[in-house]
Amino acid sequence: MADLKDIRCHKCGKLLAKGEAFVLELKCPRCKAYNFLRAVSASPEPREGRNETVSDPR
């Protein structure tokens, strides 16, 4: 099974969920703060990083 990321309240730190999401809105049951999570990228970068070649037209 894959490692699931902890999703915690930004205000009090309570564990709200485990997993990954593209867009998620949660209300903390402890402190009543709203937590909005949005993925920056739908597909993660490869572990080696980007392999781009830039050619100079000069």
How does pLDDT run across 19-41, given as a tens digit for each residue? 888 898 999 999 999 999 887 65
d(CA 46, CA 58): 31
* Other CB atoms within 10 A of residue 9 CB: 19
Domain boundaries, the chain: 6-38
d(CA 47, CA 3): 16
**CA torsion sign, 18 to 22 to 28 to 33?**
positive
Residue 36 is predicted with a pLDDT of 92
- Whether the model pTM is above 0.85: no
Instruction: Name the percent of the chain lying above pLDDT 90.
Output: 43
